[in-house]
Amino acid sequence: AFLKWYREAELIHGRWAMTAVVGIFVGQAWSGVPWFQAGADPSAVAPFSFGTLLGTQLLLMGWVESKRWVDFYNPESQSVEWATPWSKTAENFSNFTGEQGYPGGKFFDPLGFAGTIKDGVYIPDTEKLERLQLAEIKHSRLAMLAM
């Protein structure tokens, strides 16, 4: 179970690292301030106190991480309707790939990169999905090294 959890952790950390690398380039292009100097300006977060930022971060990320933790030990438990009240049907959130960390389905793949949607039903394409999974882990590892 630990190896499976480490694989899940690598995916999540890699996705955050890829987002951070894009954020570095976009932030620097937008503001002109190099990313490593951005934290030196205390007015950057002036509208919010440190306690407000910390509390918001703990509340939001704690909720998301707790759902991920529960879903890791009890797969598909977070795709039921009561766990996702904003969804009218739990089918939109069900794990079509059968793999932890790769949910797929209409909600997670609306553009059909790893499958197609025909008559409102998501049909996964395993060949495309495997190719995208390999590309994602390669890009994730590169982004983690970049950070």
CA distances from 66 to 8, 83, 137 (A): 14, 12, 23
Whether 15 has a binding-site annotation, put simply, is yes
Listed residue (105, 112, 114, 107) closest to 136, CA to CA: 114
Whether 99 has a binding-site annotation, put simply, is no
Sign of CA dihedral 24, 134, 93, 83: negative
Could you give the CA distance from residue 15 to residue 1 in angstroms, rounded to a whole number? 21
Whether 68 has a binding-site annotation, put simply, is no
Whether 91 has a binding-site annotation, put simply, is no
CA distances from 134 to 70, 78, 86, 129 (A): 26, 26, 31, 9
Whether 130 has a binding-site annotation, put simply, is no
Known binding residues for chlorophyll a are 10, 13, 136, 141
Which residues carry a binding-site annotation for chlorophyll b?
A: 15
Annotated binding-site residue numbers: 10, 13, 15, 136, 141
